[in-house]
Structures are given as structure tokens and as C-alpha cells.
Structure 1
Amino acid sequence: MTLRQVYIVGALGGLSAVVALVLFAALAVGLYCATQRLIDLHDEHKVRRQDLNACRAIARLGTTNHPKDNA
């Protein structure tokens, strides 16, 4: 191998390492964002479920002798 070929192989190796690191970083950021989105959706679901349970509890109370508006 000539010196030029050695430099070209080294440059290609370095370039492939940089591409691999960028792809790995993009994958890590994507997984982080997806995980955060799932956690946020789960928290929102818990809040809605608690609100729905409160509404159902209020509805089960019922009313007795509720005055009606005669207007």
C-alpha cells in the first residue's frame, strides 16, 4: 500500500466512526423523546381517570328534593 492509500483508508475509517457516532446520538435522542412522550401520556391518563372517577362519584350521590325553577 502506498502512503496515499493508507491516508485514504484512515480517512474513511474516521469518517465512518463520525457517522456511527452521529447515528448513535440520533437514536439515543429519539428513544429519550419517545420515552418522555409515553411518560407524559401515562400521567395525563392518570389525571383524566381521577377526574372521571370524581365525576362518577358525584353522579352517584344523586339529589333529593332538588328545587325546580318555575320561571
Structure 2
Amino acid sequence: MTPDQAYIIGAIGGATLAVTLVLIVLLALALHAAVTRIIDLHDAYRERRAHARQQAAELATLNAINALPTTRHPTEN
């Protein structure tokens, strides 16, 4: 093998390594973005669920208050 052929093979290997590293970095960034998005969606879902539970509890309290028997007090003249 001539020195020129060895340099060409080395250049092809170096270019392949560079392209592979760029693809790995892009894959890592895409994976990070996907996981971050999933975590954000899950947090938003938990907040909505907690808010819905709080509203249901408040509604139950108001319904219980409305269900209490009332007495009519005589008005003072």
C-alpha cells in the first residue's frame, strides 16, 4: 500500500468518525428534548389534576353548606 493510499484511508476514517460524532450529538440532543418535553407535559398534567381536585373539594363544601337546614329567624321591628 502506498503512502497516498494510507492517507486516503486515514482521511476516510477521520471523516467517518467526525460524521458519527456529529450524529451521536444530534441524537443526544433530540433525546434530551423529547425527555424534557415529556417531563413538562407530565408536570402540567399533575397541576391540572391537582387543580381539578381542589375545585371538586370546594364544590363539595359548597354543596354541603347549601344542604344544611336553615331556620328562619323572626325579624325585629
When normalised by structure 1's length, the TM-score is 0.84
1:29 partnered with 2:29:
yes
Equivalence for 1:9? 9
User: How far apart, in 2, do the equivalents of 1:44 and 1:58 lie?
Assistant: 21
Which runs of 5 or more structure 2 residues have no equivalent in the other structure? 68-77
Over the residues paired in the alignment, what is the CA RMSD in angstroms? 1.3
Which aligned runs of 4 or more in structure 1 are off by greater than 4 angstroms?
A: none
Task: Point out the structure with max Rg over C-alpha.
Answer: 2
Aligned-pair identity in percent equals 40
Give the count of matched residue pairs: 65
When normalised by structure 2's length, the TM-score is 0.78
- 1:64, CA displacement in angstroms? 2.1
Of the three residues 64, 67, 70, the one matched with 2:66 is: 64
Which runs of 5 or more structure 1 residues have no equivalent in the other structure? 66-71
Secondary structure of residue in 1 paired with 2:66: coil
